[in-house]
Structure 1
């Protein structure tokens, strides 16, 4: 299984203005974001995501977050070993600003985060397994959210999902997963396994 790399923010742009469903969909379409979240659910914060890495290895991500009813955040996050140039960051600022303007939003804040130093990157990798068992920092609280995180395509069969999920559950990163997510995942693996056995 490909090991998931931790991502760090490199660019964050705060947009002011309210979005109804139509404008939210248009904004996501303009940025190529997969749909996520429900406007009517006050606990939903993550409203779109897109893997923008060259190799589609989830080392560079564009995500849309709801800060409040009238404030939204678009964030580019990268793995520590991804060289995101100033020119690329500037390009993303232009792309995001154009999409925001087309949907009635104003850019109210722009923050560019410096890349981690190579020394810090090496230290991070050395400590990675320990850090992964210390806290759950993946953007998934339900099984539906976890599928994208571990690279499951929407068209995947239940058996394919079961196999990849079971492999992921042996990874140290799974140890601090929320109890409800663990129960949901274990129940899914058990149900698909029992169903597969009954068909033989």
Structure 2
């Protein structure tokens, strides 16, 4: 089974010749991947050399008319941190080289790799329903995985994701213990 080790979401238009150049830069074959999650949206991929018992695949998929998803998949043991970081550098450079807008990188290593959903416009009507906290968490250490973060995620990434949750209408209904821990975390404690 293929699992994503690194996923880079970007947005932008590519002319046909730019798309072909991008495939060349990443040495991808214009053959869609046929297995693993998101295979139906795959447009190109390549199998990477194995340095351990892990199988690695670099994939390019489309989302909508101008969305691009670059994913490093693995089968077996997760790739080393050094391998993931090398592909992070390669894929960020590719996004920049082709003038694509970086939307998000998972797992995020810095604040600019976190996608923050824009808040509703100021004139949007408020819901008449009372906000509810439906999550079973009352401790901040339990909530990181729900936010798509590992416990060892960089602090700046945790801060952005936490602020996003705290700005939701449901936050005031969160357990008091969790709200205190979140405030303490954001104030450096």
**Greater Rg over alpha carbons, structure:** 2
Task: Give TM-score scaled by structure 1 length.
Answer: 0.46
TM-score, length-scaled by structure 2: 0.48
Which has a greater percent of helix? Answer: 1
